[in-house]
Structure 1
């Protein structure tokens, strides 16, 4: 079927799959059209300020109380929630090679592997960084995450995500956000899929304030796409899995839970094409802080300090004069989980592969490897365009704890620290510095 999308970040949308299914002038009429039930899905407290208040009205075949019956506990030992402490995990900088997709039949949910956790799922602060490895569709299986919204970053294979509010097709170089509490299932359009997920326990993602940048630049609201209403009328045995409080439960029902015929509101899944990001940079010397690469941010209680940010490092021109152009060496209060979607990352051209990951935790030093330093220090500073590259970062103010799976997996590069071995002392006090 051809897909259409609504556009605009956090707008109030309305969409119906059948004419007249959406009530006009009221949210909860005495009787809904087509024998539908009215139901509100709230993503914030009722009294949240207008600028952050999120809710959608759904008009569905059955109220969702018919979808969530008796729950049975379910074990998913490789999907961890914070706090999850692996006592034997060493302290340091980490990098992983791409993890292969399993040969055994594995769905999107079954292939979830947690790499780091931060904060606490019960206090609704922090995040977890996962990878997904999949080779099978979720045909009659559905999932609901009550713990946090899920930010998907595909690296390999297109995903067809069928949600309560409609369908999103998401490809590598696009991202998708699935709101907390939204039921969905995932089909694989290319047979296999691999990618990254940020499970955000805190306030939902929004656009960063642009400040002096002004009204344009970075991610523009019009480029975010939302699904139009689409429903499944399937009266066959189905299974719903729920993640709640860091634990997993399952229930069986006799029909699809994706039975929303119409909806309106601003609490909905969406996708964004990273190639539409309008990169900002210096055209004189030095370069601004990497916060200029922020696509989405989830705030904390401290102004200007995120619970979690999504930043990307896309193709871009570099023209700054007398400037070391890759990221500088630094330590900061944020903990940085990084992945690579395609190409090379300019600060780590060796050993950091698409599908791979790295972790540089708060106040631990990091920066370009020896090769990157020497290349950038001696390069001719003509205008240069970085092409065929897309790296990203999940950055949080909280320490990211490595899971046992990640700490013990064969993909962990045990010699990663050696990439800085060649950064020897170059100081010579007899040479006068530049004027």
Structure 2
């Protein structure tokens, strides 16, 4: 395996070539009449040609064979990957799932693509507006198989097991507490090292970007220099038995055969590439006086809608930090929101629900569905001595938040058999503390 190397920066223009072929990148133009080493030039566009320069995304790939070199696509069976939001009736209740089961390889081999299970979403890829939330559970590497998503971007959040992601741009090793983004149209393959599980946020019609900082100033949250992109790496490999390319197109899966590996890019340059980020590098902004700051201060990446300040999807984390707010109920407040909130737990214990919300599980609080700390958390936090304390130590939870009203799939509600039907009971012990004769202390 080639040594893994990275270049840093978010949204920048990069150049990269495999050191085995120095000079593979052309000088002075993108598409010379004859490329060095007999390569083909191919542009991958992630935006309309006429987008403003600040939002225009494209990369030039210099490859042994162009990606068009394959046999026709044909539909393939997809078990639990869907964008059909009308399989079951709407579900307005608070939902929580126990950790999703990973099959043993001796019982059923399942690679990353086969292990994609859609749990909820909204919109649809044909109109280029919407999102989907998937769980991946797998135990087998993709062998002579690649995948690309014509519908949108994948933000991948590993929870158990590391992923070696081979892309047209190079390799990325992504471990739990890291994330990666594979943008629309990029070929990739996933190698795993045992039973593996995680979460995927898919967005149609927008790319992820860093949130605006506003009054925070120039520094804070996720810093651009901490995002890493792969260095060019290629394989010139014939596959006599056939290499399978899977395309996700309009929510359906299709397969095409070709006789060589698609990971044959010798050099590339541009600003449209896969990238990864270590969540430990997030610089937390928090309240230091009183009250509980809105969770938007923990936004790592956002996919903006056409409405200013409103996201198709935000990726938000709740990392280890100090809690110092005075005169404040410090856990998350009781809340009804005009956004959908899907939460997952990578590791540790979430402060507002230490029982039941487990690593590898999830919860969904839909638009205007009330939620908040369980009864035990409320009682403890109401009586706690307010001194500086570490919050979420050795814990990492996250939220996919969306302005869209997400529907839950049949798999999420019924087939997966991981739905915690007793979730609502965590609020039943909440007590009445109302006293109409209450007077402030000292009066």
Q: TM-score range by the shorter chain?
A: over 0.9
Corresponding residue for residue 66 of structure 1: 69
Q: TM-score, normalised by structure 2?
A: 0.96
C-alpha contact 1:132 1:197 (8 A) present in aligned 2: yes
Corresponding residue for residue 425 of structure 2: 418
Query: Aligned partners of 1:202, 1:290: CA distance in 2, in Å?
Result: 24
C-alpha contact 2:118 2:412 (8 A) present in aligned 1: yes
Displacement, 1:184? 0.8
Displacement, 1:86? 2.5
> How big is each residue's C-alpha offset from its partner over 1:374-403, in whole Å with a ceiling of 9 and x where there is no partner?
111111101000201100011110011110
Query: Aligned partners of 2:309, 2:195: CA distance in 1, in Å?
Result: 39
Displacement, 1:134? 0.8
SS for the counterpart of 2:359 is coil
Instruction: Please give the residue correspondences for 1:162-311 in structure 2 after superposition, counting only pairs within 5 Å.
Output: 162-188=166-192, 190-236=193-239, 237-311=242-316
Displacement, 1:89? 5.0
C-alpha contact 1:79 1:114 (8 A) present in aligned 2: yes
Corresponding residue for residue 128 of structure 1: 132
Q: Which of 347, 356, 362 is the matching residue for 1:357?
A: 362
Corresponding residue for residue 334 of structure 2: 329
C-alpha contact 2:339 2:402 (8 A) present in aligned 1: yes
Kindly indicate whether residue 16 of structure 2 is the aligned counterpart of residue 10 of structure 1.
no
> How big is each residue's C-alpha offset from its partner over 1:187-243, in whole Å with a ceiling of 9 and x where there is no partner?
01x322100000111310000000000110100000000000001211012000111
C-alpha contact 1:117 1:401 (8 A) present in aligned 2: yes
> How big is each residue's C-alpha offset from its partner over 1:239-275, in whole Å with a ceiling of 9 and x where there is no partner?
0011101111111110001111000001000000000
| Structure 1 stretches lacking a partner, 5+ long | none
Query: Aligned partners of 2:5, 2:40: CA distance in 1, in Å?
Result: 25
Corresponding residue for residue 141 of structure 2: 137
C-alpha contact 2:9 2:228 (8 A) present in aligned 1: yes
SS for the counterpart of 2:412 is helix
Kindly indicate whether residue 432 of structure 2 is the aligned counterpart of residue 431 of structure 1.
no
RMSD: 1.1
> How big is each residue's C-alpha offset from its partner over 1:280-313, in whole Å with a ceiling of 9 and x where there is no partner?
0011111321100000000001000000000000
| Structure 2 stretches lacking a partner, 5+ long | none
Runs of 4 or more consecutive aligned structure 1 residues displaced over 2 Å after TM superposition: 86-91
Query: Aligned partners of 2:35, 2:418: CA distance in 1, in Å?
Result: 54
C-alpha contact 1:80 1:117 (8 A) present in aligned 2: no
C-alpha contact 1:99 1:355 (8 A) present in aligned 2: yes
SS for the counterpart of 2:126 is coil
Q: Which of 402, 425, 428 is the matching residue for 1:396?
A: 402
Q: Which of 81, 89, 103 is the matching residue for 1:79?
A: 81
Query: Aligned partners of 2:204, 2:89: CA distance in 1, in Å?
Result: 25
C-alpha contact 1:118 1:401 (8 A) present in aligned 2: yes
Query: Aligned partners of 1:253, 1:30: CA distance in 2, in Å?
Result: 26
How many pairs align?
Answer: 432
Corresponding residue for residue 95 of structure 2: 94
Query: Aligned partners of 1:233, 1:308: CA distance in 2, in Å?
Result: 38
C-alpha contact 1:406 1:412 (8 A) present in aligned 2: yes
C-alpha contact 2:292 2:333 (8 A) present in aligned 1: no
SS for the counterpart of 1:25 is coil
Kindly indicate whether residue 124 of structure 2 is the aligned counterpart of residue 117 of structure 1.
no
Query: Aligned partners of 1:66, 1:359: CA distance in 2, in Å?
Result: 42
Query: Aligned partners of 2:49, 2:59: CA distance in 1, in Å?
Result: 12
